[in-house]
Structure 1
Amino acid sequence: MNVKKKIGLSAATAILGISLIGGGSFAYFSDSEVTNNTFTAGTLDINLKSTDDSKKINLNIENMKPGDWKVHQISIYNGGSLEVKDVKLRADYTVTDANGDNGTEDFADHILVNIMKADTKEVIANWVPLSQLKDSNLVVANDLKTPTGNKYQTNHRQTLRVDFKFNDNGQDQNIFQGDQIDFKLSFEASQKDGELK
């Protein structure tokens, strides 16, 4: 074999080797898997129900005089998909002074509120003035489970007995004649702490 053929054959062999090395870097095994996932947030939903099975809670008291009181029962239900850690109660109110003669007196100081758990008789607020419940965060329910559809299930609700009384302090309370208190009770539920899923 002459030198030209040897050089040509060597060059061809070198080119073939380089092409195999270069081409070999792109030849590999592969495999892939895909997972399709979703994250869905649960719901926190409490419902209030009066003892007369109506959805509307009516705490109105008319034509009150010192010494009058009214008893209500309110059931708090967990209607969501998440367990409730606790439910806090906050009150807010405004007083309408009919005759403009209240001065520094707050009519809400004379309306006493008693709150207890109906099943255990645990007292949550022991005849405190409505004015003291303003912006307070009283815990009125704990550990409400999610509803299961079992009609006998009781661990997803808490029934409260709520009493309102116009306190007769034995003194002249004429300045409150015709006065009115508009108030609202707010129930705020908190979720249980996050956990490993």
Structure 2
Amino acid sequence: MGIKKQLGIGILSATLGLTMIGGGTYAYFSDDEVTQNTFAAGTLDLTAEPTEIINLDNIKPGDHMVRTFELQNNGTLDIAKVLLETDYSIIDAKKDNTDDFGKYIEVEFLYNADKLDEVIYKTTLAELKKMKPETINKHIFYPQFGEEGLPAGTIDDFAVKFNFVDNGKDQNEFQGDTLKLEWTFKAEQTTGEEK
């Protein structure tokens, strides 16, 4: 074997040896840090007190009655909007109705629960049942709550006047009838924000 070959093999062997030594002893500094993170969702908890706002017997055309109730935000998040859905059923005692009893029950939402003198919005149960919840919020709850909505941990008082409308005509078809009213209050959160 020639000197050049031996020299080439020697250099190659030395390079390979250095590579193996360097690769085997290659070291670096390192450090690990673990963080613990939490995402806890808040709660919306709208409560109406009392849950039965009105329960009357023996009403007649021309009668009116005022009832008060509270909307409470018992959650941890502010409520931006309260939406109201109205539904009712009628028990026609004599099975002779040609008209909707709900057209003759007028509802006045009042501003001042103490004086009961200023009407926020007036409509009938029949019209209220057809209204979209967003429209009801605009006419009834927004004037009461304003931009602030119903903040967490707060209570707002409401007064409602119900009128059995006397239309000056024969309303005998409603004698003995019962109207069962169901109001469903729904809360919507405020818009998201940077935290």
TM-score category (smaller protein): 0.7 to 0.9
Matched, 1:107 2:101: yes
CA contact (8 A) 2:76 2:152 kept: yes
CA contact (8 A) 1:87 1:188 kept: yes
Give the structure 2 partner of residue 14 of structure 1: 15
CA contact (8 A) 1:90 1:135 kept: no
| Cα displacement (A) at 1:35 | 0.8
Q: Which runs of 5+ in 2 are unaligned?
A: none
Output aligned runs, 1:82-121, within 5 Å.
82-103=77-98, 105-118=99-112
CA offsets, 1:57-104, max 9 Å, x none? 34111101101111101111110000010112221001111111112x
Match of 2:152 among 138, 146, 155: 146
SS of residue in 1 equivalent to 2:15 = helix
Give the structure 1 partner of residue 169 of structure 2: 171
Give the structure 2 partner of residue 196 of structure 1: 194
Which has the bigger relative contact order, CA under 8 A and spacing at least 6?
Answer: 2
Matched, 1:37 2:43: no
Matched, 1:133 2:139: no
SS of residue in 2 equivalent to 1:134 = helix
AA at the equivalent of 1:81: T
Quote the Cα distance in structure 2 between the aligned partners of 1:161 and 1:34.
55
AA at the equivalent of 2:48: L
Q: Which runs of 5+ in 1 are unaligned?
A: 51-55, 148-155
| Cα displacement (A) at 1:129 | 1.1
Over aligned residues, Cα RMSD in angstroms? Answer: 2.5
AA at the equivalent of 2:44: L
Which range moves more in the overlay, 161-170 or 9-18?
9-18
Quote the Cα distance in structure 2 between the aligned partners of 1:160 and 1:100.
35
Quote the Cα distance in structure 1 between the aligned partners of 2:87 and 2:113.
27
CA offsets, 1:7-48, max 9 Å, x none? 886455223212134336x52222221111111110000122
Quote the Cα distance in structure 2 between the aligned partners of 1:63 and 1:23.
98
CA offsets, 1:104-128, max 9 Å, x none? x1010011100123369764321x1
Which has the larger strand fraction? 1
What is the TM-score with the length of structure 2 in the denominator?
0.81
Quote the Cα distance in structure 2 between the aligned partners of 1:119 and 1:107.
27
Give the structure 2 partner of residue 47 of structure 1: 47
